[in-house]
Structure 1
Amino acid sequence: MNSSSCTPHLPAWPHQAFTAPFTTTGRSALVPPPPWHYAGWLLNVSFQFDAGRAVPLVPPAAGRPLGSGCVHFADWQACTPNGNELLDPVLAQYRETIVVLEVERPDGSRAMYCPAIWVDQDISLVRGLLQGWPKKIGSTWLTRSLPLDHPAAAPLRAGSRLGASLAVKDRRVFEAQATLTGQPGRALGFLGTPTIGAVGWPDLRQPAQRPTLALVKPAIGERVGSGWHAATATLQLTPHPTEDIGLLDGLVAQEASAGWIGITVSGAVDA
């Protein structure tokens, strides 16, 4: 008999929390229920790599790695429908680095799969895990473009230079440099292709068993954008002692784009 089936459930309790901590007010819950609104500035760099290197990173049910992917450096602001987080920005703002890999699904369609993502805010981390984005803590920095004609503003015009980096546990993992071309750019990575992830959680009552995974994709709507700006880019990946993304060592940057986007996540669906 499964040991978990013998564990009694708590009596019905009218707590109001979507995630822990569970209280009757729900006020201290780390994450409220969706919808979640996001707006952000992103630098996106697509890349190619030896597809065989990604096999340990992608569940076969998700698809076959095709040897292409994208890294997104993002500076986000997020809120729930009441918008109260915008009045207390420590609850709303965060930066993250997202890696997605292109796969061919079992039915022959194309999608992106997210094997790794790093964020600097616990609220975003838990929201991501619920959506199948495998978030961990990391430090992302990226050049902001400001609407000023000034040397420090990195305006959106030909010749402006942008940089971005990710460090995890005090070690630099990704570095990117980009130069805007002045031409329209493309929606790269998860911005232009449906993206799936894996959701699973261990049960400490059965520590010898690995989690059963489910493939999901976020339900995204209310999408607005400023238009993407094309760039040329370089991208460097430095292997890390505890991050499997280093298996993609030898990746080559292809194209890049930068711009702003707003999206709303209302939940998730099976993938």
Structure 2
Amino acid sequence: MNTWSHAFTAPFTAAGRAALVPPPPWHYAGWLLNVAFEHEAAGAAALVPPAAGRALGRGCVHFADWQACTDGHELLDPVLAQYRETIVVLELERPDGSRCNYCPAIWVDQDISLLRGLLQGWPKKAGSTWLTRSLPLAHPAAAPLAAGTRLGATLAVRERRLLEARATLTGAPGRPLGFLALPTLGAVGWPDLRQPGVMPEPRLLRPDIRDRIGSGWHAAEASLQLLAHPHEELDALGAVRAVEASAGWIGISVAGALDA
């Protein structure tokens, strides 16, 4: 057992204070715009490990504005706590007939979140997410949670826009969608640079999510556009069509991960 370093992740130091990510539990609270979509099911074979299951032709994009912490000290230094990200999940039927999601792509603007995701099997990369916030004010700039309010969200990766969404709140209650509705799998696999010609063999994990709390979801009508990108592979899904959307706040805690 290592008795010198108290770091959960690199850099490994005696005190562990410089470690990028401390051990779980990790607590998250955020504002999300969720857009469920249909896609060409056959195209998902290029993005989903066969062991995960069979794609059903449905998925969801989550545009998220998060605040996260461990013991709460990050809330006093918010550069450690706040970030935005875009999450793509695809709905699958597992070999046993159950249903789940798989995360083939996710982009974030903060390194702490990026590494937390990789440890869970969520393949985070750097990207720039912007989304309209709803604020608790009856004011034109506040995007209040009321019928007719319009919301927008975009994702740019390597200075090229990849996803665009537009939504209009209907005033009706909404539903949890995507990873908010079904367990979501990820794949963890690290190369061994002592054998650079050998590809890693990913294993499937799902986050151990606890203490979920929400404010209620607000239904929306939405559009979603997936743009061509020279370095990303989401275009394997073919044409995408938004079928349902919701917006709201959610809080969750991740205690660790479980074998899928």
Q: Give TM-score scaled by structure 1 length.
A: 0.95
Percent identity over the alignment? 73
- Deviation string 1:35-94 (CA, Å, 9 cap, x unpaired) is 0000000000000011011111000100001100000000000000x2000000000000
Equivalence for 1:258: 247
CA distance in 2, matches of 1:70, 1:126: 22
Match of 1:190 among 175, 179, 187: 179
Corresponding position of 1:35: 25
My pick for the range that moved more, 182-191 or 248-257, is: 248-257
Q: Report the equivalent of 1:231.
A: 220
Query: Shift of the alpha carbon at 1:14?
Result: 1.6
Q: What corresponds to 2:198 in structure 1?
A: 209
Alignment RMSD: 0.8
Unaligned runs of 5+ in 2: none
Structure showing greater radius of gyration is: 1
Q: Hey, what does 1:67 align to over in structure 2? A: 57
Match of 2:44 among 38, 51, 54: 54
The residue number in structure 2 matching 1:99 is: 88
Amino acid of the structure 2 residue aligned with 1:46: A
Q: Secondary structure at 1:233's aligned position in 2?
A: strand
Gaps of 5+ in 1: 1-10
CA deviation after TM superposition for structure 1 residue 159, in Å: 0.2
TM-score (norm 2): 0.99
SS at match of 1:149: coil
Quick check: 1:239–1:247 contact (8 Å CA) kept in 2?
Answer: no
- State whether residues 117 and 136 of structure 1, in contact with CA within 8 Å, keep that contact through their aligned partners in structure 2: yes
The one-letter amino acid paired with 2:22 is P
Give the secondary structure class of the aligned counterpart of 1:152. helix
How many equivalent pairs are there?
Answer: 260
Aligned pair partner of 2:211 in 222, 247, 265 = 222
CA distance in 1, matches of 2:156, 2:2: 44
Q: Is 1:45 the equivalent of 2:31? A: no
Who is 1:22 aligned against? 12
Counterpart CA distance in 2 for 1:77 and 1:239 is 30
Residue identity matched to 1:63? G
